[in-house]
Structure 1
Amino acid sequence: MHHTPFGLEILFHLGPVPISRAVVTTWGIMALLTLVSWWGTRAAARGGLFAAALEILVETLEEQVRSILQRDPWPYLPMLGTLFVFLVVANLSAVVPGVTPPTGRIETPAALALIVFFSIHYFGIKARGAGGYFAHFLHPSPMLLPLNILGEFTRILSLMVRLFGNMMSHEFVIAIVLYLAGLFLPVPFMLLGILIGVIQAYIFTILATVYIGAGIGAVET
């Protein structure tokens, strides 16, 4: 049976709930990251190469978030850092034989975009208070309220479509080249795909940071 990126490849059901291949792959990535994080926090205490790499990653993310929000990044870093690490692993899972990256299926980018959507409002209300946060939809004019509300949804939609479109198109290119040219020629495309996967994770996280910054009043969009 042929499956499209817009369809759900259902593997099994949990009661009435269908579970797709992308969901199972996502669960596997989450379990892997949980184990690596559990092991990493213990290995980091002993120092070594892994601890140094982990420190570089955290400091780099901290600097990026601080430069955008112009304030203490630590209230936002756990969410944004987790988002970035998950996206990197999810995007690069395409290099594992037999694994389809969950970000190449529409439901995963949609779920991640919804997480960002609710995070914007959560951090915005926490930073400004409910009244101050919802009042910003009336600026610069109350007449623009419908457009400001619509803009909240279109930003998240564009976030979802950008990630999905790039990962889906890369997967299609690899499949076509592999079919036409054999096993070894697609290797440069796979290396390019690794770069694309990391860049897309970075772009998604940076845009999420910018949108959260707009929600808390730290960034003008």
Structure 2
Amino acid sequence: MHLSPDGIIFWEYGFLKLNATIVFTWGLMCVLVIGSRAITRNLSIGLERARWQNLLEVIVLAIHNQIREVGLRQPRRYFAFLGTLFVFIVAATLFIVIPGYEPPTGSLSTTTALAICVFIAVPVYGIKEQGLSRYLRSYLEPTPLMLPFNVISEFSRTLALAIRLFGNIMSGTMILAILLTVTPFIFPVVMGALGLLTGMLQAYIFSILATVYIAAATSSFREDTDQDYDLDGPGDSEMKRLEAR
């Protein structure tokens, strides 16, 4: 029993190793690229649509609406990044029904790489929305004394993202492997279904947390913009002044 797909070595030459994490990660990416290409090759805008297109539209709309509900007002700007994170983690979990497959998210190196992507994306989107100086000033809020704590929180939440996803996927794989040894009939099927549910839930949590972090990085800019443009409407502020008189 392997604690991680990193321990499954397919090829080794000196310090170069080709382990299951690399193989299944690239295999998963190829499947997603080829599958997305095949599904979107003949899209229809009419009433008659293929089942795959209907399923794709349901997934896209669900992710789009979820991003908007978290607080990002232009979901399309963040959809490619956040949607890719979610679909990759979900696909990595769903493929455990294939014998011999090991989810790459069961490796700490994979989950760390995903967390680093979020770590980089947060300031990139924040600077793009607010500008460099405004974004850097957010680390001094509410007081400059909070600067070291705000910096530490950036790294700690990245570490938490990586370890949370790795721990949940790895633990599910370990429990399934143990049950296969002890009771190789009923319980593994039940635990396999539970593992699928857990993986889906972890994909949702990971993508939602990434969305929340990005929303927090761009929120101060939107709040300032809303105040400048007066959310009450162009005529409401004038009416209030007249009533005050």
Using structure 1 for the length normalisation, give the TM-score: 0.92
- Deviation for aligned residue 1:4: 3.5
Alpha-carbon contact 2:5-2:21 (below 8 Å) kept? no
Equivalent residue in structure 1 for 2:175, among 153, 173, 176: 173
Alpha-carbon contact 2:125-2:214 (below 8 Å) kept? yes
- How many angstroms apart in 2 are the aligned matches of 1:9 and 1:129? 45
Aligned counterpart, 1:26: 25
SS at match of 1:12: strand
* TM-superposition CA deviations, 1:2-44 (whole Å, max 9, x none): 7433955443369965433201100000000000110111243
Aligned-pair identity in percent equals: 41
Do the aligned partners of residues 50 and 14 (structure 1) sit closer, same or farther apart at CA in structure 2, a change above 3 Å counting?
farther
Q: Count residues in correspondence.
A: 219
Do the aligned partners of residues 44 and 183 (structure 1) sit closer, same or farther apart at CA in structure 2, a change above 3 Å counting?
farther
* TM-superposition CA deviations, 1:130-152 (whole Å, max 9, x none): 11111100101111111100000
Equivalent residue in structure 2 for 1:102, among 104, 108, 114: 104
| Structure of greater Rg | 2
Equivalent residue in structure 1 for 2:81, among 79, 82, 95: 79
Do the aligned partners of residues 183 and 153 (structure 1) sit closer, same or farther apart at CA in structure 2, a change above 3 Å counting?
same
* TM-superposition CA deviations, 1:145-166 (whole Å, max 9, x none): 1110000011111111110110
Q: What letter matches 1:27 in structure 2?
A: W
Using structure 2 for the length normalisation, give the TM-score: 0.83
Q: What letter matches 1:213 in structure 2?
A: A
Equivalent residue in structure 1 for 2:50, among 39, 48, 51: 48
CA RMSD between the two structures: 2.2
Aligned counterpart, 2:206: 204
SS at match of 2:11: strand
Aligned counterpart, 2:188: 186
Do the aligned partners of residues 13 and 212 (structure 1) sit closer, same or farther apart at CA in structure 2, a change above 3 Å counting?
farther
- Deviation for aligned residue 1:184: 3.7
Q: What letter matches 1:95 in structure 2?
A: V
Q: Write out aligned runs for 1:123-142 (5 A).
A: 123-142=125-144
* Structure 2: stretches of 5+ with no match in the other structure: 224-245
- How many angstroms apart in 2 are the aligned matches of 1:216 and 1:18? 41
